[in-house]
Structure 1
Amino acid sequence: MGFSLFEGFTKSLAMTIVSEIGDSTFFAAAILAMRHPRRLVLSGCLMALIVMTVLSVLVGWAAPNLIPRKWTHHITTLLFLGFGIWSLWEGFTEEGDAEELAEVEAKLDADLKANTGATKNGSKVDDDLKKQRRQFLTHFFSPIFLKAFSITFFGEWGDRSQIATIGLAADENPYGVVLGGIIGQALCTIAAVLGGKSLASQISEKMVAICGGILFLVFGVHSLLSTARES
């Protein structure tokens, strides 16, 4: 139990860090932290990532109860090998390290302009209605918190790291996976928020993708050589 917990923890921690560093949600957190209070951005992003990690682990933990563990083990192996090849391909064919950063920044800028234009064009009655509808949420949560939470949550939904977490939880100790995932997400998010845009612009996406690909391949080979644990 102790070793399986440690193995699940270390795999999840390493996988999360190499998957999230330089990811679109990492860049989004860094850019948001340049424009809004860091504590609100950090709390919103962290909350979204913790919820996403727990949900992913729950799905992975339930999978062996619906599908034979032998099959979940094989699926996890294929996922790791496939993600490893995919990440290496992205690393060696990446055209520019700042491409995703610029894309995320442009998207956030367009979103900000659209919201500003909508506010200017709206009537006072519409503004009052919007305030009444949001009164309950904004009483407990800042709009910046909700924005950081929603951008991060939906940005991570269906992402490679989420699918890998599901596969890892189906084959490893789920408590170790969720603990490693949360700590890894926290480290990456804190680095993005505190380091800001300057840190994001200095990260070599190519090197991160190559390291992530190698790590996924190592996990895949290890899973291929090991036997599926008995229920």
Structure 2
Amino acid sequence: MAPAVYDGTTSSLSEASAQALLQSFSMIIVSEIGDKTFLIAAILAMRHPRLIVFAGAFGSLVVMSMLSAAMGHLLPTLIPRRWTQVAASILFLVFGTKMLLEARAMKAGNEKIQEEMKEAQEEIEDDEAEHEGADDVPLEEMEAGHSPTVQKTTSKSKPKTSFRDGARNFCSLLLGPVFVQAFILTFLGEWGDRSQIATIALGAAHNVYLVTIGTVVGHGCCTALAVIGGRYVSTKISVKHVTLGGAILFLIFGIVYLYEAYMMGADMEMSIPT
């Protein structure tokens, strides 16, 4: 993949735009398929209407993509662009090396994705247990005599509703509890994830709008695949091969950005009058 640096010509601009879109899209695909947020959407889609789950999860990822790309866009205003390219290169090389080691340590089976599936299931159950009321006690438990304890509504024992819970209840009233659950679980699962940090790096190296479009389209494809048949797909794909492909892609990104930073330094030296 040859680096594309905009030098003022139309062909160079088109090449740089295509590179930004392709890198953003491919980075999301190799990072998100089989990821925890992918499995969260798949599990929720088996319990609730798929369209609502897709809207909540995809809406969360759109917001995350815009925030991450904007954060990356601000970096060149604080740090010289050459050094942002170097930082992006180091970041992708580290991620690529880490993914390569993870792929080598994985077995041929899908034990890794089973662990991710279990974690996603636990997060959904914890979220539902935290926000369900006493009326949601299963009928079997009621018949067995395990009725919920009725608390006295005194001034000391009355629970206080936090601002976060109040905001969630208000959004649930407007948008529906399933939409809000998919949005929040996806946002929390994606925050600080490898794909978010990589989006920040791409936003610093390329046009912020193109990076946003590429990541949004990538997230849209992954989320649609998750809600349509994510659980089936997760049992058929090889996480080892996906991780290995992602490692190679990230290493290529790192080499490309390192070369671009080197070329920027060479151009700066040539432009300095002797």
Structure-2 separation of matches of 1:27 and 1:156: 12
Matched letter for residue 201 of structure 1 = T
What is the one-letter code of the residue matched to 2:198? Answer: A
Equivalent residues in 2 for 1:41-52 (5 A)? Answer: 41-52=53-64
**Does 2:198 match 1:164?**
yes
Q: Check the 8 A contact 2:38/2:230 in 1, yes or no.
A: no
| Percent identity for Structure 1 against Structure 2 | 42
Deviation string 1:127-154 (CA, Å, 9 cap, x unpaired) is 9x89x95664233211110000000011
| Counterpart in the other structure of 1:103 | 119
**Residues 26-105 of structure 1: matches in 2 within 5 Å?**
26-94=38-106, 96-97=111-112, 98-105=114-121
Residue of structure 1 aligned with 2:259, choices 211, 217, 225: 225
Please, which runs of 5 or more residues in structure 1 have no aligned partner? none
Name the count of aligned residue pairs: 228
Q: Equivalent residue for 2:218? A: 184
Distance change in 2, residues 1:13/1:228 (3 Å): farther
CA-to-aligned-CA distance 1:100-153 (integer Å, 9 cap, x gap):
1122223323443454476554669789x89x9566423321111000000001
Structure 1 segment 178-217 matched on structure 2, within 5 A:
178-217=212-251
Higher alpha-carbon Rg: 2
State the secondary structure of the residue aligned to 1:158.
Answer: coil
Task: Report the AA paired with residue 200 of structure 1.
Answer: S
Q: 1:201 to 1:118 in 2, by over 3 A?
A: farther
Deviates more, 1:193-202 or 1:12-21: 193-202
CA contact under 8 A between 2:60 and 2:184: conserved in structure 1? yes
- Indicate the RMSD between aligned Cα atoms, in angstroms: 2.6
Q: Is the 8 A contact 1:50 1:182 kept in 2?
A: yes
CA contact (8 A) 2:93 2:254 kept: yes
Task: Tell me, yes or no, if the aligned pair for 1:48 and 1:149 is still in contact at 8 Å.
Answer: yes
Partner Cα separation in structure 2 for residue 135 and residue 209 of structure 1: 38
| Aligned-partner SS, 2:192 | coil
TM-score, normalization: structure 2? 0.76
Unaligned stretches of 5+ residues in structure 2: 1-12, 138-147, 268-274
Counterparts of 1:5 and 1:221, CA distance in 2: 19
What is the rounded CA distance, in whole Å, between the counterparts of 1:155 and 1:135 in structure 2? 20
**Normalising by the residue count of structure 1, what TM-score does the alignment of the two structures yield?**
0.89
Counterpart of 2:181?
A: 147
- Deviation of 1:176 after TM superposition, in Å, equals 1.6
CA distance in 2, matches of 1:113, 1:140: 21
Which residue identity is paired with 1:193?
V
Greater helix percent: which structure?
1
Asked whether the 8 Å contact 1:156–1:162 carries over to 2, the reply is yes
- Structure 2 CA distance for partners of 1:82 and 1:201, relative to 1, 3 Å: same
- What is the Cα deviation at residue 169 of structure 1? 1.0
Matches of 1:117 and 1:144, distance apart in 2: 15
